[in-house]
Amino acid sequence: MTRRLLLSYLALALLVLAGLEIPLGYVYARGETSRASQSVERDASMLAEVTEENIEQGRLDALPDIVGDYATRTGGHVVVTDRQGVVLADSDPAARTGISLAGQPDIARALNNQPTVTTTTDGDGRDVLSATMPGSSGTTIRGTLRLTYPLDRVSTRVHRIWGALALAGACILALVALVAYSMARWITRPLRTLEAATTQLADGHLAHPPDATTGPPELRRLATSFTRTATRLQHLLQSQQAFASEASHQLKTPLTALRLRLENFEPYLDPRAHASLDEAVGEVERLGRMVQGLLALARLENTATTPAPADLDMVIAERVTMWEPLAAEQYVSLDVTGPPAGQVWAIPGALEQIIDNLLANALRVSPPGSTLTLHRSPGGELHIIDQGPGLSAADRERAFDRFWRSSDSHHDGTGLGLPIVRHLINASGGSITLRPAPGTGLDAHIRLRPATARPHQVQPTGEDFGPRRTRGRRTQTADRP
């Protein structure tokens, strides 16, 4: 922003200077040419009077000294003729005298008592100012005088003034640049500190608040407001993190104790109450998983990291190896198809959690004898396809809502598995959609960014989820609505 402000100030100053100096230069150039023309005309008239007097008195031998002295002093070229147009004197020593110039237009007009002032070219091709005057007394013409003055001398003076104007403009621009740079730095200092503060806040900790003591009043107020807002956000985030940390310890202990007490009742209860006891223990376990899911989501949302390249094919192979024994217990086969997917961007540990959650969901609804397919595609695409009952279009729209469970579900899920999956995928810069599988079942389509693309910055991370066993029966942290 400093550079843009500086350029805008310099552009404005340049426009003002151009609007002032260019017309001034043109006016000076025209004035200089006009003054030179008037000077040549005046000098030619004076010399014409002097030479006419010498011709009248018969002092023709004085004419070369007169025109030579003038040419030496001014750099002009003087030619004097008699009343027949024959050259009597020439300031150029190499020029010939005695030749007739009566046929030249300006000499012919001067012999008719008509002066001529014009711009023309001399014998060397140079531009010159030419003034041809009659040497007369009244109506008596005794001769003519032609005075030519090179325009390159006028051009030299014009170029000199243009150079002076350019130098003055450069000095003014340098001064404007110095002042503009100081002003731009002063104006943008709060913005620079504000940018650094927002970067720190995005990383989760504001160590250096923006400077609210310098800069324009509007930016100082903005910096003050940002600091107050950032402080409030930090306080809220710290409170949320403290709650998540404390709740993970405070809630697990009583839930574990409650489950153990319920299990200890089993020997003392009537056998007809064992079913209700199992249901109560199951609900306690479900409550424990729900608490763990909520705490996991809280930690995911409060922790930041940057995606890194990960080998999707290797993770798929590892997770399939881990889940195959559990799938075999349900008589479900796991099948990996498609060409290698390659490297993808993902936050550390996210791929394992995503696949574990989706495989747990799919196994829960897969009937015995069915196949659970993991179909991969180059470019970071993965389909996890089951042969279960599937979901309606309305249910697929709500499947990623927290705590939402399908009305026809008969499992003890918490409704947090798919929200966790979507959070991890979005944090890795990808996307997930649920589609109906061919025939029956559900197709969870995951699209991740190939490792050749640029990763997103500052994204949440999570914790590990995987297949576990509890009290002799299989449970998963993920669940299908």
Instruction: Find the CATH number of the domain harbouring 405.
Output: 3.30.565.10
Backbone dihedral angles phi then psi of residue 241, each to the nearest 5 degrees: -65, -40
**Could you tell me if 364 and 476 are in contact, meaning their C-beta atoms sit under 8 angstroms apart?**
yes
The answer to whether position 259 is within a domain reads no
* Distance separating alpha carbons of residues 407 and 403, to the nearest angstrom: 12
Calpha distance 285→473 (Å, rounded): 12
> Is there a domain that residue 319 lies in?
yes
Q: Which two tokens stand for residue 428?
A: 């890795």
At which residue do the structure tokens 């927290």 appear?
402
Contacts of 344 (CB under 8 A, 6+ apart): 309, 310, 312, 351, 380, 428, 430, 448, 449, 450, 451
User: Of the candidates 102, 133, 156, which is a domain's last residue?
Assistant: 156
**Could you tell me if residue 439 is inside a domain?**
yes
The number of beta carbons lying within 10 Å of the beta carbon of residue 120 is: 13
Structure tokens at 411: 């499992």
Structurally, the chain folds into a number of domains equal to 2
Does the residue 90 lie in any domain?
Answer: yes
For residue 148 the two structure tokens come to 């030519």
Q: Which residue segment(s) compose the domain that 70 sits in?
A: 2-156
Tell me whether residue 200 is in a domain.
Answer: no
Which of 156, 190, 206 is the endpoint of a domain? 156
Is position 433 within any domain? Answer: yes
CA angle 468, 327, 285 (to 5 degrees): 30
Residue 347 inside a domain? The answer is yes
Cα separations in angstroms, 269 against 203, 236, 262, 275: 55, 48, 10, 11
| Cα–Cα dist 274/255, whole Å | 20
Phi/psi region, residue 392 (left: phi>0; alpha: psi -120 to 50; beta: rest), is beta
Token pair belonging to 288: 């424990």
Query: Is position 216 within any domain?
Result: no
pLDDT values of the chain reduced to their tens digit, one per residue, 481 residues: 677 777 887 888 888 888 888 888 888 888 888 888 898 899 999 999 998 888 888 888 888 989 899 988 888 889 999 888 898 998 888 888 889 888 889 889 999 889 998 888 877 777 888 899 998 887 788 899 999 988 887 888 888 888 888 898 889 888 888 888 888 877 777 777 777 788 777 666 677 777 777 777 877 788 888 888 878 877 777 776 677 666 666 676 777 788 788 788 778 777 878 788 787 877 777 677 666 666 666 666 555 567 889 999 999 999 999 999 999 999 999 999 999 988 999 888 788 888 988 998 889 888 999 999 999 998 889 999 998 888 888 888 888 877 666 655 555 555 677 888 888 888 888 999 999 988 888 999 999 999 875 544 433 333 344 444 433 333 333 444 4
* Residue (of 315, 290, 308) closest to 427 by Cα position: 308
Domain boundary among 97, 129, 156: 156
